[in-house]
Amino acid sequence: MTVFSDTMTLTGRMMKHMTRSVDTLMTVVLMPIMLMLAFIYIFGGAMTIPQEVYKGFIVPAILLFTVASGVGYTAFRLNGDIQNGIFERFHSMPIAKSAILNSHVVTSVVFNFISAMVVLLSSILIGFRPKADVLDWVMALLLLLAATYALSWIAVLFGLIAKNNETAIAFSYLLIGLLFISSGFVPTETLPKILRGFADYQPMTPIINTLRSILTDGVIPSDIWLAFAWCIGAIVIFQVLSIYVYRKKLR
């Protein structure tokens, strides 16, 4: 199938983009680690809960933060491809056209998932001790993978519709905003009433709660389906929308 070989060829191209950009590596891997250290060792001191407990509490949010800031670059690069005409070049060639978007998504999933793993490893280095067994690990990583896949398709849509590079990357701040108004960094009970109502029902909260329950406490919650449902729903909707916009844009 040419779809497969074309996707691999174009993914190879994107991987070179990612690994050759020091800026991307810094933002995607170092920023979350800095944020984690700041929350645990700077703000954590002012909190009433012990540092060890808080580590377990925020690691899931930090992992999603890694992916959310990482997909900003997915949108940025995709938009760059449109702006500088390379998309048109590919589009006028006899290749499987779906490979063009696929390559951005595959690169985004692989790269951001690996980044999240690096951040997870560093959290273990500073003393995070997951209680997860093998099955728990499999479920937790699957959920993180699903969330990365969903966020990558969201990034593709924003990359396609953004007028320029700066707007394309700005959408990841929306995702990061969602993370802060969720159960990620503080229990939602401590939030003001209006924010709490939002925080309890937005997708980041069930995903973070599920990851936390599995990784930190070693318990697969009964509502794990809700977290997966959000991811799968987002994948379907944003993939359909992206492909629609893409076709409209280039024909």
Partner 1 sequence: MQEAIEVVDLEKSFSNHKVLDKISFRVPSGSIFALLGTNGSGKTTTVKMMTTLLKPDHGSVKIDGLDISQQALAVQKKFSLTGQFAAVDEVLTGRENLVLIAKLRHLKNYLSKVDELLAVFDLQEAADRPAQTYSGGMRRKLDLAMSLIDPPQILFLDEPTTGLDPQARAVLWQMIRTLKKSGVTIFLTTQYLEEAEQLADTVAILNRGKIALQGSVAEVKRHLPKETLELTFADEETLAAAEALIGGKVNKELLALNVATDNKVEKITMILNQLQAAKLEILTFTQKRASLDDVFFMIVENRTEEGK
For residue 196, state whether it binds partner 1 (rule: CB under 8 A): no
Part of the chain binding partner 1 (CB under 8 A), chosen from 80-88, 177-185, 203-211, 222-230: 80-88
Q: What is the DSSP string of 55-69?
A: HHHHHHHHHHHHHHH
Residues near 193 by beta carbon (within 8 Å), at least 6 away in sequence: none
CA dist 11 and 107 (Å) reads 6
Q: What is the DSSP string of 119-166?
A: HHHHHHHTT------HHHHHHHHHHHHHHHHHHHHHHHHHHHH-SSHH
Interatomic CA distance for residues 134 and 84, integer angstroms:
46
Tell me: does residue 45 bind partner 1 (CB under 8 A).
no
Minimum Å gap between C-beta 135 and partner 1 is: 41
Do 9 and 101 form a contact (C-beta atoms < 8 A)?
no
Q: State which of residues 3, 49, 88, 201 lies at the interface with partner 1 (CB under 8 A).
A: 88
Interface with partner 1, residue 91, by CB under 8 A: yes
Nearer to partner 1, 90 or 171 (CB): 90
Q: Does 84 bind partner 1 (CB under 8 A)?
A: yes
Does residue 163 bind partner 1 (CB under 8 A)? Answer: no
Question: In the chain, which ranges are continuous DSSP H helix?
Answer: 2-20, 22-25, 31-37, 51-83, 86-91, 98-125, 134-161, 165-180, 193-201, 204-217, 224-249
**Beta carbons of 202 and 182 less than 8 angstroms apart:** yes
Binding of partner 1 at residue 165 (CB under 8 A)?
no
What's the min distance (Å) between Cβ of 114 and partner 1? 19
- Is 52 among the residues that bind partner 1 (CB under 8 A)? no
Q: Which of 1, 94, 192, 222 binds partner 1 (CB under 8 A)?
A: 94
> What character string, x for contact with partner 1 (CB under 8 A) and - otherwise, covers 232-251?
------------------xx
Residues that bind partner 1 (CB under 8 A): 2, 5-6, 9-10, 13, 16-17, 20-21, 84-86, 88-95, 250-251
